[in-house]
Every structure is written in C-alpha cells, then in structure tokens.
Structure 1
C-alpha cells in the first residue's frame, strides 16, 4: 500500500484513486462497509465481539500528497506523477492506519468496543479534511482519537510524544491597502500604498515581539505581496496574504484581531484605507497528558526506555496539522515516529524526503497495542 500510494500521489481533495485503492484493500480482507466523507475520504468501523467496556476510539491516517517534484532516484517506487510526491509521509500514515484496521478486523473476537479508522484527505490544503471530521460529527460519541506523524530529526526506531500543544494553529489573512494614484514627481498629490505596506510589514511583527508571551510561539508570516504599475506612479493599492500561527488556543482570536488593527491603523496614519479578511484554519494539536503517559509506558515496556523521546520539538517547528480539529473534539494523542537514518535525513516538504519501509510494521504494531489498551483497560 505504501509503495503504491507513493508511486501515484494525489493532491488534497483529489485523492480519488487513493480512496478506491484503500477501499479495495479493505474489501479484500472482509471490511466491506467503509463509508465516504469529504468526497475523497473514507472511514471504517471495526466492532469488537468480546465482553468488556464498550468504548469507542478513532485513529487517523492522512492520505494526500504535495505539489513537489521528487528527486530521489534511489527508490524503486518513486513518484510516477510529474510534480507530485508524498513529501510529508502520508503514504506511511495511511498504510499504518490500514494495517491497524486489518489487525483489529482479525482480532475482533478479542476486544470490546469500536475502533473507527479514518483515512483522511486534504490535510495539506483547504478545504481541510480534518474540519469535515469535526463538522460531520465523525467523532461524536467517541472517547479518544489517535494520530501520528513521521519525524525526520528523530532516529528511526524511536518514538516521541509530549503533553499539551504540539503544533500551532494556522489562520490565513488577506489584506488590501488602498491609497491614491498620483504622478511619481508629485507624491503629495497621492497616497502611497507601498509606503503603507512597508509600515505594516514592520509594525505587524511587533505583535509577536512585544505583545505575545514567548511560550505561545506566535508567528506572523507575509507570504505574498503585489502592487505597483510603473516606476513613475505613486502606487494606489497593495495586496498581501499571510498566515498567523500560535500554540495558544486562548490568544488565537486576539492575534487575528491585532493584525487587523495594525493594518487599519497604518492605513489611517497614511490617509489610506485597509480591507482585511481572514479564515480560521486548523487549531493547535493539543495532546492529553494521560494519553501521552500511557503511550510512554507502552513504548518503554515493548520497545525500550531508550526508544522514547519527550523533549522534542514539534513537527516543522511552527508547523500545523488539521488533527487539531480532532483534539478539539475528544482527548487525543498525536505521536511521532522517527525516520532519520543514513539514507533518509531530509526534512518533510522537500524533494529528497524519504522514509524506510522498515518503519511500517513496528509502528503499526505499536498503534495496535495502544488502541487495544485504550479499548480494553
């Protein structure tokens, strides 16, 4: 499954072949009642037949790829689709989720309760699959959710998790600064939108450095900017877009509000206008402390004490993951499995990213054991 997905990557919200491939695999092993969500997503429920607590937990594996041209020529299963590759390990994640589903199907006489395995599309781009999981109530009545991610700066064979916020929210904004056109030789007759933009770029970063606690890890990124028509014209408008990130759910709305206020204040100071809009993206992933402790004990007992890491940085430093929608609905565990070895040391979202197939079975076994503990204890 991992190699097939890697050969035929599909972008967010276009995972049609991947969806069918997963459905076919489930049906070959007797799981024929998988249901569709978010058009290209799939989830399947495995009901246990044993006596015991009738708990319900969910496990996610994301399935989408990225618009990156793979440059690994040492992989026999390298991407066959120009310009696309699984550069974030979702082919690994989905395969681990598949293995977990098949294992529980075979063991259904030995556990009680229900495991829902969610093959989630569109983690990388809007409209986000994680938002659909929350909005369509796929976690209603469930007690916990489990997610995972490959980690390229953690040695292969090691696992990590820590309590609290482990990713940041990612909210998008768009800004148009509006001035007045004039001849470049008569700047006093116009209102310079480029001057406004320069002031905004400088001032908006002070929200992070002077208004946000360091522990929040707030980040404001201006990703695009466009404006101006000629070298001798006072620019009448500038547009820009960016992202606003924080690990603090409490200050997330405040950050967006302050970016808006800085934009409007800078525009007013320069005698111009500001048009600001934003869209809330994924929330921070927040790990439940008790679930993290259970995972740590499982790793220590089954793999070894030296294989667990808790003092580790989050994925991609200030990165985000729409598993945050899961952790806003139910207590959650989001753990990392290391992939760094002599052949695989590039970061995610790069054309040379890779991870060994040897990680699949051990990580699947750990996920299966953890889910069994959650359902039966």
Structure 2
C-alpha cells in the first residue's frame, strides 16, 4: 500500500470523528476576533498528540508543525474557523447553533474539522514524510482586520515553500473538486461616504442644502463607474449597501452616510474604480455645494492561484482516482473574496473548492440562515488536501 493510500484509509476510518468535531464547532460558533472557546478546543485536540503547537499572532491563531523523517520542502495547509453574525433558522438539527445570533454559515466548521483529523493522521505517518507540513488554523477570515495578515506578520510563512487551502462550496455538487488558474477570487474594497449639507424645514428648501438629494445623485453616479469606466470583459461590481439618512418627513437632512463594497478580479481595475470614486465625490461637492468625506479601504487582494502549483495539484488528484471524488473541474473564477489571497501574495499557493451541495432540490447559499452542507464533503476535503500534500512532499529522485 502506498503512503497516500494508507493516509486515505486512515481518513476513511476517521470520518465519524470529523463529523463529530464539525457538529461540535457548528453548535458553538464564534465571531471573528472573538474565537476564544474555539481556540481552546483546538489546543485541547492537539494536547495529547506528539507535535509542536503554538499560538501565533495577536488573535486566536493556532499553528502546528509536523516534521517529516526525511529532508524536503515545507508545505502549509490552512483552514479558517470563525463564524458569522447570522441567526440560524429552525432546521431541526440536533447541533444547531447554541450561540444566539451567531452561525457557521460559511462552512468554516467543516474546514477546521477535516484539517484537525488530517493533521492527526499525517502525524501518525510523519516518519515517512519527505519535508514538513505546517498546519495553520486561522481566525478572523470574515472580518477585517484579516486573520491571515496577522499571522503572516507574526511569521507563519517563515520557511514555507507552498500554501494549500480549500473551501466547501454549496454551489457545487458533492464529489466535485473545483479549481482555477491565476486570478480566482475577487479582491474587495469597502467605502463609507459622509455627505454634509445644511438642514432645515421641508417647507423652505431654498434655505437649506439637502444631503439626501446629493446622496441620491451620488448613488446613481456611482453605478456609471462599472458600466462606463470598466471594460465589459473585466469582472467588477460596486454596491451601495447602506444609505443612512433617517429623519422626519418634514425636515431636510443635513447629513447622510453611505456604505458600500466593490469587488474586482484585477488589481488594476481596483485602482481605476478608486480613482473614479474620488472624482465623483469631488463632482458631487461642486454640484451640490456639500462636503463629501470619502473613507476608502482596500480590504482583500485578488486571490491568485499559482498556475504551475495548481496544475501539479490537479494532475496528482486526477491520477489518484479517489473514489469519493467524481469530478475535478475548472469551475472558473469565484465572485466572493477570500483572505487566503494574502498567503498567495507571499508564496506560490492554490485554493481548491470542495462541493458540498445537499441533494434536496433547494439552494442553501453561504452566509444565509439556512446554509447547509452534506457532511460527506469532510472526508472528500481531507482526502483531496492530504493527497495533494503527499504528492508535493514526494522524495527527490
């Protein structure tokens, strides 16, 4: 039996443990930057295992090093473990969230569960490994400041040659492994715009300067950035998600605040949109005689999958012919953003997608109160990532 086959058999035997861990984490979710109990759970899991465990960064990051018995490269495997401010619907699950207003609505509980058991089984085989594996349990993927940035600043990628990650996807069928080369997930920016005019009585608008009117024109003008300043072949979206001008029906508002989000697939596109945002804000000031304050923050970079490393991973998975994996497909670039992109900026990396669709004829989208996944995806993720790891750590000939 090959080393990879032995690992996959061990993972099959541990599937029930993965599911048990996932259900515990699902029942006890914690928000970004507040993952105290989850951190303690991770530390407890590794307590009796023969490995190097350390806390890293200013948050709740946990890093485990598995040193192989033979020289070779260092590969990092990363999984996130924070949850979202979402109230889980009444779904009859025995392991439904017990923390009010918090839910694992994106599958990070599944990521953590599969990686814990995969790490455990890799430790059992460490003497046969050529090189080493760094397990990265990352907090705060969902909310800035990014947990990935924090861990990188603390040295989590020191001496690391490659990074591999995976995300379960409810939009992909169970058994599917997705990938994409080069730009693979959008970069993100956030903005807040405060418009200050002059308030007054609704019956005497000539004595006031209506911030709501100026803000309304601004919302419409912002829509022209993507439609008229970005090449239609380029991926870009701009959303104004909040317009706070609450007041009374007969009073002209003095101040309104808009909050928005933009997504891009190329960093050059981000710069064009940022420049246009600033220019339009200046134009609103001049047109309406108001003051416009723009707070514009670059949040997450575009996720770039190293083409060569990705192709090597995909070729290895196809050659392995893992029974639970029914298709390995380029599913194209994905619309959401992902802070795994910070690791990819530092060293060649790739990010896989693991189908977890529940076959009930309904959609259960990420970040929604009724997010669900087929728990068989845990074993598939563990086998895919574990096989890719061993392929990368093959001894040199």
Shorter-chain TM-score above 0.5: yes
Q: Report if the CA contact (8 A) 1:300-1:306 is conserved.
A: no
State TM-score, norm by structure 2. Answer: 0.88
Residue of structure 1 equivalent to 2:252: 234
Q: Report if the CA contact (8 A) 2:184-2:332 is conserved.
A: no
Of 276-285 and 335-344, the range deviating more from structure 2: 335-344
Of 23-32 and 171-180, the range deviating more from structure 2: 23-32
Deviation string 1:143-193 (CA, Å, 9 cap, x unpaired) is 211111111121111101010222111211111111122332332222221
Partner of residue 249 from structure 1, selected from 267, 276, 297: 267
Residue of structure 1 equivalent to 2:174: 156
Q: Distance in 1 between matches of 2:304 and 2:392?
A: 18
SS in 2 for 1:68: coil
Q: Distance in 1 between matches of 2:235 and 2:197?
A: 34
1:257-336 to 2 correspondence within 5 Å? 257-301=275-319, 302-303=321-322, 307-312=327-332, 314=334, 318-336=335-353
- Residue 82 of structure 1 deviates from its aligned partner by 2.1
Residue of structure 2 equivalent to 1:111: 129
Of 324-333 and 297-306, the range deviating more from structure 2: 297-306
Partner of residue 339 from structure 1, selected from 331, 335, 356: 356
State TM-score, norm by structure 1. Answer: 0.93
Q: Distance in 1 between matches of 2:58 and 2:260?
A: 26
Matched, 1:221 2:206: no
Q: Distance in 1 between matches of 2:155 and 2:364?
A: 37
- Residue 5 of structure 1 deviates from its aligned partner by 0.5
SS in 2 for 1:171: strand
Structure 1 residues 141 and 32, CA gap change in structure 2 (3 angstroms): closer
Q: Distance in 2 between matches of 1:85 and 1:159?
A: 25
Of 236-245 and 116-125, the range deviating more from structure 2: 236-245
Q: Report if the CA contact (8 A) 2:56-2:151 is conserved.
A: no
Q: Distance in 1 between matches of 2:195 and 2:285?
A: 7
SS in 2 for 1:76: coil
Matched, 1:45 2:45: no
Instruction: Show structure 1 runs of 4+ deviating over 3 A.
Output: none
Structure 1 residues 67 and 228, CA gap change in structure 2 (3 angstroms): closer
Deviation string 1:10-54 (CA, Å, 9 cap, x unpaired) is 111111111111111112222253333232111111111214xx3
Partner of residue 193 from structure 2, selected from 175, 179, 185: 175
SS in 2 for 1:149: strand
Q: Distance in 2 between matches of 1:130 and 1:215?
A: 30
Q: Distance in 2 between matches of 1:170 and 1:321?
A: 9
Deviation string 1:228-249 (CA, Å, 9 cap, x unpaired) is 5333333222111111211112
Structure 2's unaligned 5+ residue stretches are 1-20
Deviation string 1:259-287 (CA, Å, 9 cap, x unpaired) is 12211211211111211112221111111
- Residue 349 of structure 1 deviates from its aligned partner by 1.1
Q: Distance in 1 between matches of 2:229 and 2:217?
A: 18
Q: Distance in 2 between matches of 1:72 and 1:333?
A: 36
Structure 1's unaligned 5+ residue stretches are none
SS in 2 for 1:75: coil
Aligned residues: 372
SS in 2 for 1:222: strand
Deviation string 1:307-329 (CA, Å, 9 cap, x unpaired) is 11213451xxx311111111111
Q: Report if the CA contact (8 A) 1:50-1:108 is conserved.
A: no
Q: Distance in 2 between matches of 1:72 and 1:182?
A: 47
- Residue 202 of structure 1 deviates from its aligned partner by 0.6
Residue of structure 2 equivalent to 1:34: 54
